Structure 1
Amino acid sequence: MMRRSVELEIITEALQTGSGNNRRRADFIWGRARGASHTAGAEGNVWAADVHDVALHIVTRLYGRPDTTPEASPLVQAEQAKRLRDIDGEVAARLDAAVGLASAPWYPARPGDLVHVAYEQAGDMPPFGETYIVDDAGDNLMGLQLLAHTLPKTVAGLDAETTAAMVGFFSSEASDEPLYEAWYEAGPHRLTIVRDGRPVHIGGAR
């Protein structure tokens, strides 16, 4: 999610919880028109607004409308452009992926880097993650080796052998760019990269 969406969450929570002694969680904000009578039977002067709508209005006035477009990997973007017969868009998606990776402040990858790929739930496939390590393959090349994954041994009736074949897709013995396939196919928003114990890229960070 983008930064403005974080602010939307903060403002929504603030409106829901109130302040002072009024700490009850609320889904609506109630008010009375200015100058309206406080006597019984003046219901027509009372208004209510959904907390989320009010928060969105505030964020939009301050920062512009939040971007709620789902993130997609460069591969998905290229495939979408191809289906639309948009050759320029397809080429741009491929080039942008290479440029985005090469321009990252932590680039290039180094032996010892840990790379975690997070997958969302898809149909009967549960969400899971894979962790790889970059290693020195010699001759100025690097490999990407699978260290661990969280995919259950059996998924939606699949046997263990079939399930095991569904992980380690981005492993490589030797490459001059061991992270490109994961960056392009899974997408940078699904990757978390740790170097010397510190995260240098956190995909999808709020």
Structure 2
Amino acid sequence: MRRDPRLETITQVLRLPRVRRPFVGRELREPVLRLEGGRNEWSASVPQVAEAIYTALYGRPDTTPQPSPVQQADDAKRRRDIAGEIGALMSGHAALTSAPWYPARPGDLVHVHYEAAVAVFGETYLVAPGFADGFLSMQLLCHTLPADTEFLAGMVGCFAVDDDPDPLAGLWTEAGPQRLTIVRDGRPVHIGGAR
């Protein structure tokens, strides 16, 4: 039987001792893998093991912040690349519509996190039924804009919409999926800032 080098790499990763550390936050809800016996005893969450295997096979995961689809389209427009501009918008739309939790439903909570040069803040929106049949609205619930940044106040709530067939489309393409957290029935279905 011929050995695959990828399988050997995974086996080596699993044989390396892992540092035991307390599981906090979301790791408490994650399944924990334990390897016991001999000197290679370790415990780790599934994401920790997955990252170790990925790193061994392909190198460190890319954690560079990705620009939003609109920013990618603007970059292509500056380069006078019409195909790149259209492609950025189309791939952004395809990423939204192919998500397993899509489309938005009434009751969904959508949080957007801004990292502006002037202020770091967030907004939380509620998806609600619209007035027209099959349409939805997105209402601003709250924001964390500091009081000393009044000049940004006009930006707060800019993604609120009434009677829209796809209320997430503007927020997804303009702010970017990496800045969004979407919660459905008390469970996060999209965590854009997670590695």
Report the TM-score when normalising by structure 1: 0.65
**Aligned partner of 2:112 among 109, 117, 121:** 117
State, as a whole percentage, how many aligned pairs show the same letter. 54
Deviation per CA, 1:149-182: give whole Å up to 9, x if none.
0001222xxxx4x442121010111100000001
Shift of 1:59: 8.4
* CA–CA separation in structure 1 for the residues paired with 2:175 and 2:185: 23
Query: Counterpart of 1:169 in 2: which secondary structure?
Result: coil
Equivalences for residues 139-154 of structure 1 within 5 A? 139=132, 140-154=134-148
**1:193 counterpart residue number:** 182
Report the TM-score when normalising by structure 2: 0.69
Preserved CA contact (<8 Å) 1:115 1:192: yes
**1:73 counterpart residue number:** 68
**Aligned partner of 1:82 among 77, 97, 101:** 77
Preserved CA contact (<8 Å) 1:143 1:172: yes
Unaligned stretches of 5+ residues in structure 1: 1-10, 15-57
Shift of 1:70: 2.9
Equivalences for residues 173-192 of structure 1 within 5 A? 173-192=162-181
Query: Counterpart of 1:138 in 2: which secondary structure?
Result: coil
Moved more, 103-112 or 60-69: 60-69
Equivalences for residues 7-86 of structure 1 within 5 A? 62-66=56-60, 67-86=62-81
Preserved CA contact (<8 Å) 2:104 2:168: yes
* CA–CA separation in structure 2 for the residues paired with 1:150 and 1:138: 29
Unaligned stretches of 5+ residues in structure 2: 1-15, 20-51
Aligned length: 146
* CA–CA separation in structure 2 for the residues paired with 1:145 and 1:130: 10
Code of the residue aligned with 1:191 in structure 2: it is L
Superposed structure 1 runs of 4+ greater than 4 Å apart: 58-61
